[in-house]
Amino acid sequence: MNRRPHEAGQATREAEHGRCLADGIRPFHVMAILARAKALEASGRSIVHLEIGEPDFPTPEPVNAAATRFLSGGQVRYTPAAGLPELRERIGRYYAERYGTGVSPQRIFLTPGASGAFSLALAVALAPGRRVMLADPGYPCYSNFVHLYSGEPHAVPVRAAHDFHLDADLCRTHCGGEVPVAISASPSNPTGTVMRAAVLRELVQWFEAEQGILISDEIYHGLEYGGRPVSALEFGDHVFVVNSFSKYFGMTGWRLGWLVVPEAYAAAVERVAQNIFISAPTLSQYAALAAFSEACLAELERRRRAFEARRDFLWGELVKLGFGVPAPPSGAFYIYADCSAFTDDSAEFAARLLEQAGVAVTPGKDFGTQSPERYLRFAYTADIPVLQEAVERIRRFVGG
Amino acid sequence: MNRRPHEAGQATREAEHGRCLADGIRPFHVMAILARAKALEASGRSIVHLEIGEPDFPTPEPVNAAATRFLSGGQVRYTPAAGLPELRERIGRYYAERYGTGVSPQRIFLTPGASGAFSLALAVALAPGRRVMLADPGYPCYSNFVHLYSGEPHAVPVRAAHDFHLDADLCRTHCGGEVPVAISASPSNPTGTVMRAAVLRELVQWFEAEQGILISDEIYHGLEYGGRPVSALEFGDHVFVVNSFSKYFGMTGWRLGWLVVPEAYAAAVERVAQNIFISAPTLSQYAALAAFSEACLAELERRRRAFEARRDFLWGELVKLGFGVPAPPSGAFYIYADCSAFTDDSAEFAARLLEQAGVAVTPGKDFGTQSPERYLRFAYTADIPVLQEAVERIRRFVGG
């Protein structure tokens, strides 16, 4: 970057300045789908939205009530960088209650969304050029985060037969002789698949033996439809776990997540937190204390059952229509469906499905490079009557 | 990083993994002061806190009321990544009203605190190894952010005679032949000094001519005690401006800031925002709409006058006690005072001032490497009776 950019004769200042960390970040294709869907709606068309990764349920009432109570006090100050001590403790107890494994509050950091948790974890995991293994297909933000923190995202093709998950064998093969660093996710976005406990155990233990860094994304925990969730924390203390109040707890707009770190990293992570976000939103932290109340957890269990019923309905109907669902969608609110019976270009299919049938879904190419043209992601963040309408529209569209 | 860390025989996993981005981040010395102050208070001692960079006023009532109203609706969803359109528009109009320069809402991004704004700006400004010029003394988070984004912080010694600010001459001398990148701040933390309009104009115009990147930190704007604030945006469109609802608007715990970008960068910045924080806190954004109401701005003007009276009092008393204040503290809520009449080690002086006199202040070494042992930062985030008590304690301590 010693050349003077105005000598290069390029057109925009962005180009003139040359490469930057953000260069590796491509726009999500779903943004174009969403924009087109909104334009169609503005012109009077009815659109069914199955492209959106945000729960349709409102903030649980006990959480809203706690926020309103706190607001009447009027003191919305910074909290400590690591978060409110009482919330760190409450989350530690939640691990004991739900997973049977206690976690020291000193290892728990409240963050501005799960996004903030990834920033903290990557700041202590990465150095320029360090490889980070990621499942392909997987959540596209991971590789963009790794780019921003000057790491090298390394796509690991994962198989439907292995529920689209990383495992110890794959990481051994793909770590390239370096200290292994990986982000795993269960339940997975986009596949909705849950990693089997034995696979997760082996993965955690292999990273521990290799003295590597495993970041386990558990933001869809609580939204499982076939048994209790299993956390990486059950299999070792030398793992980073990312979680969030957004999905299961229905608190997306509150922007509150958390990170559990190995004890040896706590001091470094706290220093990073002090610098890169000072503290997570205060009101959200006080509100979140109410998310663990009995009344709130009962409401969340009703919602989980509603998601399960939607999952059952949509999965069955998609298969009847001729879509393939090669790995069981046992968590989150996504079905990653094989549409190769209808097209060899899922992105073009998604565009036509929107234009002609008024159903918005996300094409596979947002999630990686492994046969993305075969796949569409359906989000069941809408109620069953809406899903029925979507299925009818798709049936007419594919002529089934 | 191809060596296997367990071959190195180091003790902790953190060390075993070798260097990481967070290595460049040192803890703030003020954290030790704060911890010690709290321990002394817990043991029954009275402590006057002049070390804290958080306004002592509560959230303005119109903001709280707007948040409570919004909560009763119960839908705290994600907003667009760039922020609520109506808030982007309102901020654009604020620039017209307050600074006489319209800013297109398309250039304005709502962020999780000013911290989020720095992340966005650095993601499009930096590539590994790129130099970023920073005033020394200055706000320590800047260099830590630059480390995390793999840039090279470059400390530029700034002089009291120049109000401790960067200027075009200094940047010309220190850019090292590269495309210049700098963060400037006015009013400054820790010095409380305001950059003269002519200096800011020349700085903005020089960066534009050099096709470089200037990030102007204006988070203390509104807290000026000698004339209206001047924004870098008044002197050109090719500048990044960081601002926040934390300080002037009294909304620290709401974690809401904003970034204004040159138009050519808007698309790239939006992609980064979608990835690294999805959106800023929703409730805070709706609440912030009320921050521009007439009633709120009138309350903020009363608070500004209160800060001004405190500044007048503390500045005068410190000078009477024998401290030097070599550049006028015309903004924010800080006085950067020369204590070399009493000590040649301001950190040791600060520690004794706390232990023996019960007054907590921040030592200069948190802010850079340029004669930090001569300086202490006093924050006047406490009311005048409290400042009087602090002055009496300091008077007894220095035997004046």
pLDDT along chain A (400 residues), means of 10: 38 56 87 92 96 92 96 89 97 97 97 97 95 97 94 97 97 94 98 97 98 98 92 97 97 97 97 93 98 98 98 98 97 98 98 97 96 98 98 92
Residue B377: name the closest of B347, B341, B344 by CA.
Answer: B347
According to DSSP, the β-strands at A181-185 and A213-217 are parallel
Answer for the pair B269, B122: CB distance below 8 angstroms, yes or no. Answer: no
Candidates B2, B254, B262; nearest CB to A178:
B2
Q: What is the DSSP letter of B364?
A: G
What chain B residue is nearest to A61 in terms of C-alpha separation?
B74
Smallest CA–CA separation between A39 and chain B, in Å?
Answer: 16
Predicted pLDDT of residue A52? 87
Smallest CA–CA separation between B323 and chain A, in Å?
Answer: 30
Q: What is the DSSP string of B198-266?
A: HHHHHHHHHHHHTT-EEEEE-TTTT-BSSS----GGGG-SS-EEEEESSSTT--GGG--EEEE--GGGH
Residue B25 has pLDDT above 50, yes or no: yes
Would you call A335 an interface residue with chain B, using a CB distance cutoff of 8 Å?
Answer: no
Predicted pLDDT of residue B18? 67
User: CA Rg, chain B, in Å?
Assistant: 22
Predicted pLDDT of residue B65? 96
Q: What is the DSSP letter of A221?
A: T
CB contact under 8 A, A112 and B281: yes
In this structure, how many other beta carbons lie within 10 angstroms of the beta carbon of residue B128? 14
CB contacts, 8 Å: B212 with chain A? 17
Instruction: Name the band, by pLDDT with cuts 50, 70 and 90, for residue B3.
Output: very low
Residue B12, class by beta-carbon neighbours within 10 Å (0-12 exposed, 13-18 middle, 19+ buried)?
exposed
Buried b (16+ CB within 10 A) or exposed e, A176-206: eebbbbbbbbbbbbbbbbbbebebbbbbbbb
Residue B22 is encoded by which pair of tokens?
A: 């967070």
Cα A179 from Cα A228, distance rounded (Å): 32
Instruction: Name the band, by pLDDT with cuts 50, 70 and 90, for residue B229.
Output: confident
CB contact under 8 A, A112 and B255: yes
Predicted pLDDT of residue A5? 38
Candidates B54, B58, B268; nearest CB to A78:
B54
Smallest CA–CA separation between B81 and chain A, in Å?
Answer: 11
For chain A positions 164-223, those within 8 Å of chain B (CB to CB) are 177-179, 211-213
Residues 6+ apart with CB under 8 A from A129: A150, A151, A152, B1
In order of A224, A400, B368, the CA distances from A325 in angstroms are 17, 17, 58
Cα torsion angle, A30, A32, A35, A41, sign: negative
Predicted pLDDT of residue A3? 37
Answer for the pair A149, A126: CB distance below 8 angstroms, yes or no. Answer: yes
Cα A229 from Cα A238, distance rounded (Å): 19
For chain B positions 34-93, those within 8 Å of chain A (CB to CB) are 54, 58-59, 61, 64, 67-68, 71-72, 74-79
Residue B158 is encoded by which pair of tokens?
A: 């700034």
Cα A212 from Cα A178, distance rounded (Å): 9
Predicted pLDDT of residue B75? 86
Would you call B9 an interface residue with chain A, using a CB distance cutoff of 8 Å?
Answer: no
For residue range B233-262, list pLDDT tens digits in order.
999 999 999 999 999 999 999 999 999 999
What chain B residue is nearest to A272 in terms of C-alpha separation?
B22
Cα A174 from Cα A193, distance rounded (Å): 22
Residues 6+ apart with CB under 8 A from B244: B113, B114, B117, B219, B256, B257, B258
The helix/strand/coil state of B153 is: strand
For residue range B291-345, list pLDDT tens digits in order.
999 999 999 999 999 999 999 999 999 999 999 999 999 999 999 999 999 999 9
Cα B267 from Cα A101, distance rounded (Å): 44
Residue A97 is encoded by which pair of tokens?
A: 């209650």
User: CA Rg, chain A, in Å?
Assistant: 22
Helix, strand, coil percent content, chain B, rounded in steps of 5: 50, 15, 40
Would you call B400 an interface residue with chain A, using a CB distance cutoff of 8 Å?
Answer: no
Predicted pLDDT of residue B19? 84
B107-111, B146-150, B164-168: segment of lowest average pLDDT: B146-150
A4-8, B101-105, B389-393: segment of lowest average pLDDT: A4-8
For chain A positions 228-257, those within 8 Å of chain B (CB to CB) are 238, 251-255
CB contacts, 8 Å: A280 with chain B? 255
Answer for the pair A351, A343: CB distance below 8 angstroms, yes or no. Answer: no
Smallest CA–CA separation between B269 and chain A, in Å?
Answer: 8
Residue B11 has pLDDT above 60, yes or no: no
What chain A residue is nearest to B278 in terms of C-alpha separation?
A115
Cα-based torsion angle of the residue sequence A139, B108, B219, A257 in order, rounded to the nearest 10 degrees:
-20
Residue A261 is encoded by which pair of tokens?
A: 């770190």
Cα B185 from Cα B232, distance rounded (Å): 10
Instruction: Name the band, by pLDDT with cuts 50, 70 and 90, for residue B4.
Output: very low
Predicted pLDDT of residue B33? 92
CB contacts, 8 Å: A179 with chain B? 1, 4-5, 17-18
Residue B362's H or E segment, with its range, is strand B362-363
Would you call A10 an interface residue with chain B, using a CB distance cutoff of 8 Å?
Answer: no
What chain A residue is nearest to B131 in terms of C-alpha separation?
A1
Express as a percent the part of chain B with pLDDT over 90: 88
Cα B397 from Cα B356, distance rounded (Å): 8
Written as one letter, the residue type at A100 is: G
Q: What is the DSSP letter of A184?
A: E
Q: Which residue has the tokens 């960088």?
A: A81
pTM assigned to the model? 0.94
Length of chain B: 400
Average pLDDT over all residues of chain B = 93
